[in-house]
Amino acid sequence: MISLSVIFFGIGLFLTAFVIHILIWRIVKPSKQMLWLTIVFIVLPICGWIIFSTLTGAHSEDGTGWTATPLNTFLILLLNILLSAAYIMSYPPIQAGCPSLKIILAVNASRAEGMTTDAIHRIFSEDILVSERLEDLVNDGLIFVKRDTTGDDLLSLKNETIVISWQGYIIAHMFALYRRILNLPFGKG
């Protein structure tokens, strides 16, 4: 049975990372956001827990309190990693304004009047749906733009060849595996 201490420490690590994330993003929004999310939510909590348990001993002298056994440490870090992975996976659509979220917010803002489908279509443009996402992927190092011989500006991303990086390859295959496990067709739903 998992003790409440394990749950408390696991959630506490996640919430601490969340506060650090908010503070960093308010001071300076990193250009490689996915890398920094991984550092803040995965690397720092693991290192922090190792330092905490090493310095404090994280055990009870009289045997009546909580003990940081290897199993407890594993469960604490696993809970933190699971919560963090869920947050990191949900972050891109939230920060980028995924179409579903934009529609819900727009319909909510229209209140009782509601919105027509034409009005909803006017919310979106090619820049919002594609260009900004391409720039995010380039900034995060998940894709890169192959420079052509004309030396066009890389930031325009127009008529350029886009190639996946090794980090993007790993993420693409993780999501493809996840979709196969859920029996979802590739590229749909």
Which residue has better confidence, 78 or 177?
Answer: 78
Least confident of 20-29, 37-46, 117-126, 141-150: 141-150
Verify that 39 and 70 share a domain, yes or no: yes
Verify that 11 and 76 share a domain, yes or no: yes
**Averaged pLDDT score across all residues of the chain:** 79
- In a domain, residue 110? The reply is no
Domain ranges, residue 126 = 117-181
- In a domain, residue 151? The reply is yes
* Residue range 96-113, pLDDT digits in tens: 667 777 778 888 888 888
Verify that 121 and 89 share a domain, yes or no: no
Verify that 11 and 90 share a domain, yes or no: yes
- In a domain, residue 49? The reply is yes
Verify that 88 and 157 share a domain, yes or no: no
User: At 158, is the pLDDT very low, low, confident or very high (cuts 50, 70, 90)?
Assistant: low
DSSP letters for 93-107: HHHHT-HHHHHHHHH
Dihedral angle sign, alpha carbons of residues 177, 180, 184, 186: positive
DSSP code for 39: I
Verify that 10 and 89 share a domain, yes or no: yes
Verify that 92 and 127 share a domain, yes or no: no
Verify that 91 and 150 share a domain, yes or no: no
* Residue range 53-84, pLDDT digits in tens: 777 765 555 454 556 678 888 999 999 999 99
Region 178-186: mean pLDDT is 80
User: At 127, is the pLDDT very low, low, confident or very high (cuts 50, 70, 90)?
Assistant: low
Query: By CB neighbour count within 10 A (0-12 exposed, 13-18 middle, 19+ buried), where does 150 fall?
Result: exposed
SS3 of 105-169: HHHHHCHHHCCCHHHHHHHCCHHHHHHHHHHHHHHCCCEEEECCCCCCCHHHCCCCEEEECHHHH
Please check whether residue 2 is in contact with residue 75, taking contact to mean a CB–CB distance below 8 angstroms.
yes
189 in helix, strand or coil?
coil
